[in-house]
Amino acid sequence: MIISILGHGVVGKGVWDMLQNRSEFTVRNVLVKKGEKTASFMVESFDEVLGDDSELVIECMGGVDPAFKFTSECLKAGKSLITSNKALVAAHGIELMELARERNLSFLFSAACGGAIPILQNLHLARQSDSILWAGGILNGTTNYILDSMDRRNLSFEEALGQAKALGYAEADPTADLSGMDTMRKIMLISMVAYDVLPNSDYNLEGIQNVSACDFEVAKELGYTIRLLGRCGLAASGRLYSYVQPMLCPLSDIFAGVRLNTNLAQYQGQNSGLMGFSGQGAGRYPTASAILRDVWSVLGGQKQMLEKKCLVGFACNDAAECARSYFVRIDDEGLEKLSGKVGVQRIVRKDNGKTFAITDKVTIKVMHDAISELRSKGHVVFFAEMKEEA
Amino acid sequence: MIISILGHGVVGKGVWDMLQNRSEFTVRNVLVKKGEKTASFMVESFDEVLGDDSELVIECMGGVDPAFKFTSECLKAGKSLITSNKALVAAHGIELMELARERNLSFLFSAACGGAIPILQNLHLARQSDSILWAGGILNGTTNYILDSMDRRNLSFEEALGQAKALGYAEADPTADLSGMDTMRKIMLISMVAYDVLPNSDYNLEGIQNVSACDFEVAKELGYTIRLLGRCGLAASGRLYSYVQPMLCPLSDIFAGVRLNTNLAQYQGQNSGLMGFSGQGAGRYPTASAILRDVWSVLGGQKQMLEKKCLVGFACNDAAECARSYFVRIDDEGLEKLSGKVGVQRIVRKDNGKTFAITDKVTIKVMHDAISELRSKGHVVFFAEMKEEA
């Protein structure tokens, strides 16, 4: 099979390395940035890839523009497509899938969700014979590294973020990771594969920007640690829910055992029960290994990861399945306002004007709406789902 | 696709249930035991299945005899085969694979290792593009339930075993589980798929029969719990190692978070890094869900899970990759004899004539051989690998 690669950065270079000395594959062209051509297999013009004899193009450029232009032109030119670009799939996955389907080409994107972890391909296979009740997990290594460092090494948020940057886990601008948007994009991809629905992206999205060392102190006293969770699922009504938010999980829980920058994706199958998939969610060779598995799947004849036409959908986070207790840190006046909307089950600690409390069960929508309103009035709040013991 | 099922017990009934109301499949015949025919789709004679028009036979009878006779006759008659029977695959998997390959039929056995957990299919795909350095994990739910109950609920071994039986997790004769043989059979299947080598089965096999409440007491003081681990891998020499033994793992380790009867399979890929797969390793619908995934894989054209001709191999457990420290409980005289062969790093506790110690690193072969010799001289020993922090 003749392959061309778009991009020669962290992931693209890893894919190129892994494709060497494999008799099944020939790499024809690798698109690099202007002025970065240092070898004969590199080209600086996309037209050279578009016009070459590759049957499969692997996109590892990142970003939506010009990745969408390039990948859609490749599909239109009759080339199958593999990508590791979650922003591209979250923004244009439906169009790319339709382009591929109309032409009977392959379009796979395993590496765009969970790095090395084969959650998307396993969901794709599982849903043919089982019902996926929900899916999600710890899907961002940067935030997990920060949270784990704050927990086990008692670092401040700023210290942990600094170390994550120094280790190359966090980008210069870590906003997409810290805000939870990176996790949300992965949830969007999971939802596409599990439910043929692409949920709206900014709904009930809470990252880790508001977590502080004092939250870990109190969480530890309760026997918990803090993780960032994303999840989507089907309510009994048949409607989709999806969200990203921090989670207090018991130290004995499998999520608490997810260390450093590891990811853990899960799904609950009606017949299979709870399934977990853990591994490296990022990095050159872990991500490239997921792309290579997709290359072999294309060679084996796989065309797509979506069952049918994917729809854009609005998540409905006020179903009974969305009821959770929450851990909250807030000032006393804020707590009083909150208790008008969300029952407070108990006060855990009062300290320097801050109150740490556990709420009654409320739906995700009610909680996020209540916190939004409090923040709009200037209150500083950290909140996290209380994970129940499995 | 027309399908017949051999067996209508725990797993067979689950498969039958899951195949109902699926337009892609028709179940032609279900083989039941003499005198157990209670519905028109059931037959009591294997010849009725052999002579029917099914393209695929799903074997859920268990045991080697007559399962091997029936499955090999089905393959010879041109029917593809899926089985959940680990004893059958460990004993005759190579012959069944050759029968299928000669006839271009499918032979898949995902459900025979790890129940719902898709470790075999993921290894099969991963090894095409990555090198599997080792694979294994917690692969027996019965023993994990017993160990977790002893740890978290301070039960004795007998109490925990009794509860496992009452819950249906342990069979009336639990020898295969407790001895580690069930785990070893799963390691044999993993080795077939990952390395095309079926290792000998009774080599360096230590179960949980010798664990006692006092071992958990001491382990807890050290910050550890106890699990049963199986693993196979490639030494730098290219030779295979494989073993089953108890393991002390830190409370913060992901293995310590594997609760109740859950399984956690792992593999270390040269490029992917450490990958984990957790879920229900047994039970009607979890096991049936793995069989159904295989049914869809057959429908998608998959023929086999082995790359090439599988060889029978002898595990070599004295390689550098097999060096471990061990936790040992032994009488004082035994400890003195042991220390002639295995260095003692430190004594953890002395109590009523029993000594709890940590050894220097020795290879698996050296440790198992030393313990065998001590036991042959009447010494009572519990020993467990000290898992290093990941």
Give the pLDDT score at A306: 84
How confident is the model at residue B115, as a pLDDT? Answer: 92
What are the φ and ψ backbone dihedral angles of B206, each rounded to 5 degrees? -130, 125
In the prediction, which pLDDT does B313 show? 85
Give the residue carrying structure tokens 């870590």. Answer: A174
Report the pLDDT value the prediction gives residue A54, as an integer from 0 to 100. 98
Within this chain, do residues B94 and B161 fall inside the same structural domain, yes or no? no
**Which chain A residues are Cβ-neighbours of B120 within 8 angstroms?**
none
Query: What letter would DSSP give residue A205?
Result: B
Longest dimension (CA), chain B: 68
Asked if A290's CB is within 8 angstroms of B116's CB, the reply is no
Task: Let me know whether B96 and B184 are in one domain.
Answer: no
**Phi and psi for B346 in degrees, rounded to 5?**
-160, 155
Q: Which two tokens stand for residue A164?
A: 């994550």
Report if residue B89 sits inside a domain: yes
| A chain contacts of residue B285, beta-carbon cutoff 8 Å | 270-273
Chain B residue with Cα closest to A281: B272
Q: Who contacts B213 (Cβ-Cβ below 8 Å, separation ≥6)?
A: B150, B154, B155, B156, B157
Q: What is the pLDDT at residue B252?
A: 78
Q: What's the CA angle centered on B137, arms B131 and B143, to 5 degrees? A: 160
pLDDT value at residue B315: 82
The residue type at A306: L
Cα–Cα distance between B166 and B363 in angstroms, integer?
38
Residue A252 pLDDT: 78
Burial of A43 (0-12, 13-18, 19+ CB in 10 A): middle
Please determine, for residue B309, whether its predicted confidence score (pLDDT) is greater than 90. Answer: no
Is B254 within 8 Å of A252 when comparing Cβ atoms? Answer: no
Cβ contact (<8 Å) for B280 and A273? yes
> What is the enclosing helix (H) or strand (E) of A148?
helix A141-152
Task: Tell me whether residue A253 is in a domain.
Answer: yes
Distance from CA of B340 to the nearest CA of A (A): 38
Residue B49 near residue B31, CB atoms below 8 Å: yes
| Residues of chain B contacting residue A14, judged by C-beta atoms under 8 Å apart | 271
| A276 to chain B: closest CA residue | B278
Domain containing B17 equals 2-108
With an 8 Å Cβ cutoff, are A289 and B283 in contact? no
Q: Tell me whether residue B374 is in a domain.
A: yes
DSSP string for residues in B11-58:
HHHHHHHHHTT-TT-EEEEEE--TT---STTEES-HHHHHTS--SEEE
Percent of chain B scored above 70 by pLDDT?
Answer: 99
> What values do phi and psi take at A178, rounded to 5?
-65, -35
Per-residue pLDDT at B200 exceeds 90: no
The CATH number of residue A344's host domain is 3.30.70.120
Residue B268, strand partner residues? B134, B274
Indicate whether A307 pLDDT > 80. Answer: no
CB contact under 8 A, A289 and B271: yes
Is B186 a known active-site residue?
Answer: yes
Q: Is residue A238 part of a domain?
A: yes
Strands A197-199, A311-313: pairing is parallel
Q: What's the count of helices (H) and strands (E) in chain B, helices before strands?
A: 13, 19
Q: Are residues A104 and A196 in the same domain?
A: no
A311-313/A273-280 β-pairing: unpaired
Same domain, A73 and A27: yes
Query: Cβ of A301 and B300 within 8 Å?
Result: yes
Residue A336 structure tokens: 């009083």
Does residue B244 have a pLDDT over 90? yes
Cis ω on the peptide bond leading into residue A66 (within 30° of 0)?
yes
Q: Do residues A53 and A2 lie in contact, with contact meaning Cβ atoms separated by under 8 Å? A: yes
Q: What digits encode the pLDDT tens for the residues A260-284?
A: 999 999 999 999 999 999 999 989 9
> Distance between CA B5 and CA A203 in Å, rounded?
47
A117 pLDDT higher than 60:
yes
Asked whether residue B123 is domain-assigned, the answer is no
Which residue of A lies nearest to B271 if distances are taken between CA atoms? A285
- Is-contact A25 A295, C-beta < 8 A? yes
Residue A299 located in a structural domain: no
Q: Which residue in B106, B129, B388 has the most chain A C-beta atoms within 10 A of its own C-beta, making it the best mutation to test that interface?
A: B129
Contact B244, B180 (CB under 8 A): yes
A255 pLDDT more than 70: yes
Tell if the CB–CB gap between A272 and B259 is shorter than 8 Å: no
Predicted confidence (pLDDT) per residue in B3-17, tens digit:
999 999 999 999 999
User: Residue B77 pLDDT more than 80?
Assistant: yes
DSSP structural state of residue B205: B
* Residue A389 pLDDT: 66
How far apart (Å, rounded) are the C-alpha atoms in residues B267 and B364?
Answer: 19
CA distance A367 to chain B (A): 29
Q: Kindly determine whether residue B276 and residue A276, on different chains, have CB atoms separated by under 8 Å.
A: yes
Q: What total number of domains does chain A contain?
A: 3
Average pLDDT, chain A: 94
Q: Which of A108, A141, A171 is the last residue of a domain?
A: A108
How far B130 CA lies from chain A's nearest CA (Å)?
Answer: 7
Q: How many Å lie between the alpha carbon of B110 and the closest alpha carbon of chain A? A: 13
- Contact between chains at A272 and B278 (C-beta distance less than 8 A): no
Residue A293 lies in a domain: no
Question: Domain containing A167 — which CATH number?
Answer: 3.30.360.10
Alpha-carbon span B198 to B310, nearest angstrom: 7
Neighbours of B280 (CB within 10 A): 25
pLDDT of the residue at A21: 83
Compare CB distances from B254 to A118, A257, A272 and report the shortest one's residue.
A257
Arithmetic mean of pLDDT, A55-70:
96
User: CA–CA separation, B228 vs B148, rounded Å?
Assistant: 11
Nearest chain A alpha carbon to B287 = A272
Q: Which chain A residues touch B223 with a CB distance below 8 Å?
A: none
Residue A229 belongs to some domain of the structure: yes
**Of A47, A81, A108, at which residue does a domain stop?**
A108
> Least CA distance to A127: which residue of chain B?
B293
When CB atoms are compared, the residue of A262, A271, A296 closest to B286 is A271
**Which tops the pLDDT comparison, B306 or A75?**
A75
Q: What is the pLDDT of residues B20-48, one digit of tens each?
A: 989 999 999 999 999 999 999 999 999 99
Nearest to B273 among A116, A292, A296 (CB): A116
Specify the CATH number for the domain of residue A29. 3.40.50.720
A49 vs A51: CA distance, rounded Å: 5
Q: Find chain B residues with C-beta within 8 A of A274's C-beta.
A: 278-280
* Active-site residue set of A: 186
- Give the pLDDT confidence score for residue B102 in this predicted structure: 95
Residue of B nearest to A298 (CA): B125
**Confidence band for A202, pLDDT divided at 50, 70 and 90:** confident
Q: Give me the residue from A116, A285, A390 closest to B275, CB to CB.
A: A116
* Nearest-by-Cβ selection for B252 from A116, A255, A257: A257
Note whether A163 and A93 are same-domain residues: no
| B200 and B166 housed in the same domain | yes
Chain A CB contacts of B122 under 8 Å are 118, 122
Distance from CA of B308 to the nearest CA of A (A): 16
Mean pLDDT for the stretch of residues B97-106: 96
Residues A222 and A82 in one domain: no
CB contact under 8 A, B276 and A275: no
Q: How far apart are CA A150 and CA A226, in angstroms?
A: 9
Q: Which of A125, A152, A256 sits opposite B293 (nearest CB)?
A: A125
Give the dihedral sign, CA A135/A136/A137/A139: positive
| pLDDT the model gives residue A228 | 98
Same domain, B159 and B267: yes
A232 and A142, same structural domain?
yes
Looking at the fold, whether B205 and B132 belong to one and the same domain comes out as yes
Instruction: Tell me whether residues A272 and B279 touch, CB distance under 8 A.
Output: yes
d(CA B342, CA A375): 63
Residue of chain A nearest B251, judged by CA positions: A252
Average pLDDT over residues A78-87: 96
Distances (CA, A) of A44 to A31, A67, A68, A77, A81: 6, 15, 17, 19, 20
Q: Residue A290: its chain B contacts at CB < 8 A?
A: 272
User: At A296, which amino acid appears?
Assistant: W
What's the mean pLDDT in B207-224?
Answer: 97
| A295 contacts on B by Cβ (under 8 Å) | 129
Task: Report the C-alpha gap between B199 and A150 in whole angstroms.
Answer: 44
Question: Can you tell me the ipTM of this complex?
Answer: 0.92
Residue where a domain stops, chosen among A53, A77, A108? A108
Token digits of residue B38: 């209670």
> Looking at B186, B354, B365, B387, which residue is catalytic?
B186
Length of chain A: 390
d(CA B97, CA B107): 6
- A165 & A47 share domain: no
CB contact under 8 A, A390 and B259: yes
Chain A residue numbers with beta carbons less than 8 Å from the beta carbon of B390 are 259
Query: Are A250 and A136 in the same domain?
Result: yes
